């Protein structure tokens, strides 16, 4: 697979006017006939390119790009990234199990975040030999010390500090202020690090920060890292020399189509971090998730009906909110395009699913080229927080997933069956 540092076009394109939408060189129409719908399709080439953008832009800092597994935890995608040097940011024991299943050799490149780590999850991570625990409270640090002592294991940790930097994003995915549940007030960082200095089983390896997701400006990242760097300097003066700064993730994308220069965005981000890091000479960790996979994925759905109710026109698809909940949950925008365009003027429609909820929608009053029952539509930029947040609501089996690399498409998750849904239950 050839990787260019320049930004490539989006992977979902009509190669020529009137042709079917393709992922790279593979027709989505052909994939739908082969694997059925709803269907998640991902471009391996773009995922690898996006990883390379971070690795190259930050190469002067000995970077470790820890992919945020929660964005899309498909085993094939984890292996794809691990094989190219990525680490992983996990937030549960289940995500660690996924890394161990997909790329056990990469476990030493895992950082474990999250506010509610259980003793069992900590034990699994200690036994597995992860790189770092991103500790989010003093109680968690005490629990980590207790479990490491009991298991006679060495635990590297970083306090996740809240720099109290505002990030202009959806309130559900803003995480860096004092009133949020995440992290520790940065003003208490020095005291907490000093309180465990010299602990037999704990190593103060780094400091971590994460101010939110889908942040389009680089400025808040630089401001947050500048405050973290100040703490690192205070610790150094107290004899506590940290080896790493974990800058978290959160770099946003454009969900509204048009040109998007990913390489320029990553360079801007890297410059902001460099400015904030100042004289810090240790290792830099970053945790992109959405930026690596969102625009590499699409949800392909088939039109079931085109229904007119008064002045409203509804395009009803076989995909639903259980397959992609972001529009219902966050009022998120996803571009929606016919896979094979028909002639005619766009018209205002609501694109909805068959789930028995008024909230089951993908778009309200959206201009869409004409579609008829049986046609395919693609919901773009769905590679992050699509399949990862899917459910079986209304007893609907979850979609299949396909990974496209060059001219090759392979099934990486089969479609669920009713036997899968009913299997764990007992009458």
Residues annotated as part of the active site: 356
**Contact at 8 Å (CB) between 314 and 380?**
no
Burial class, 276, CB count within 10 angstroms (exposed 0-12 / middle 13-18 / buried 19+)? buried
Cα–Cα separations (whole angstroms), residue 286 to 71, 78, 116, 128:
15, 16, 21, 21
Task: Give the list of residues 6+ apart from residue 326 with CB closer than 8 angstroms, or none.
Answer: 332, 334, 382, 385, 386, 389
Which position has the token pair 């239950």?
425
Task: Give the list of residues 6+ apart from residue 141 with CB closer than 8 angstroms, or none.
Answer: 135, 157, 159, 192, 196, 202
**Contact at 8 Å (CB) between 93 and 120?**
yes
Peptide bond into 38 cis (omega under 30): yes
Rounded-to-integer distance, Cα 201 and Cα 149, Å: 6
Rounded-to-integer distance, Cα 155 and Cα 182, Å: 21
**Contact at 8 Å (CB) between 321 and 355?**
yes
Rounded-to-integer distance, Cα 225 and Cα 97, Å: 31
Q: How many helices, marked H, and strands, marked E, lie in the chain?
A: 12, 21
Phi-psi category of residue 250: left, alpha or beta, with phi > 0 → left and psi -120 to 50 → alpha: left
Task: Give the list of residues 6+ apart from residue 143 with CB closer than 8 angstroms, or none.
Answer: 117, 119, 122
**Contact at 8 Å (CB) between 93 and 118?**
yes
């Amino acid at each position: 697979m050839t990787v260019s540092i320049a930004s490539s076009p989006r992977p979902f394109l009509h190669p020529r006017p009137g042709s079917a939408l393709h992922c790279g060189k593979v027709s989505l129409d052909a994939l739908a006939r082969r694997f059925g719908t709803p269907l998640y399709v991902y471009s391996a080439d773009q995922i690898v390119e996006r990883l390379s953008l971070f690795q190259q832009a930050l190469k002067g800092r000995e970077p470790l790009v820890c992919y945020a597994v929660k964005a899309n935890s498909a085993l094939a995608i984890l292996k794809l990234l691990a094989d190219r040097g990525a680490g992983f940011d996990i937030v549960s024991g289940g995500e660690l199990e996924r890394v161990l299943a997909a790329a056990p050799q990469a476990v030493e490149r895992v950082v474990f975040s999250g506010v509610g780590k259980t003793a069992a999850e900590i034990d699994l991570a200690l036994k597995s030999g992860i790189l770092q625990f991103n500790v989010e409270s003093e109680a968690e640090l005490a629990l980590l010390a207790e479990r490491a002592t009991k298991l006679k294991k060495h635990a590297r940790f970083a306090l996740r500090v809240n720099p109290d930097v505002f990030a202009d994003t959806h309130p559900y995915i803003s995480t860096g202020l004092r009133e949020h549940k995440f992290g520790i007030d940065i003003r208490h960082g020095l005291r907490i690090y000093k309180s465990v200095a010299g602990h037999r089983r704990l190593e103060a390896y780094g400091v971590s920060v994460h101010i939110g997701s889908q942040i389009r400006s680089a400025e808040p990242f630089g401001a947050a890292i500048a405050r973290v760097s100040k703490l690192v300097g205070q610790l150094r003066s107290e004899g506590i020399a940290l080896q790493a700064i974990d800058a978290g993730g959160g770099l946003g994308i454009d969900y509204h189509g048009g040109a998007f220069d990913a390489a320029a965005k990553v360079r801007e981000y890297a410059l902001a971090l460099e400015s904030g890091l100042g004289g810090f000479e240790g290792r830099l960790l970053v945790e992109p998730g959405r930026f690596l996979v969102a625009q590499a994925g699409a949800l392909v759905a088939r039109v079931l009906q085109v229904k007119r109710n008064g002045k409203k026109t509804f395009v009803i698809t076989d995909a639903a909110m259980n397959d992609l909940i972001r529009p219902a949950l966050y009022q998120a925008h996803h571009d929606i395009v016919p896979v094979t365009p028909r002639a005619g003027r766009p018209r205002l429609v609501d694109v909805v699913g068959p789930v028995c909820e008024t909230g089951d929608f993908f778009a309200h009053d959206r201009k869409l080229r004409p579609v008829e029952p049986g046609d395919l539509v693609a919901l773009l930029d769905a590679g992050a927080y699509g399949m990862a947040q899917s459910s079986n609501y209304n007893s609907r089996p979850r979609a299949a997933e396909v990974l496209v690399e060059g001219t090759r498409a392979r099934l990486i998750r089969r479609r669920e069956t009713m036997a899968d849904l009913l299997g764990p239950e007992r009458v």
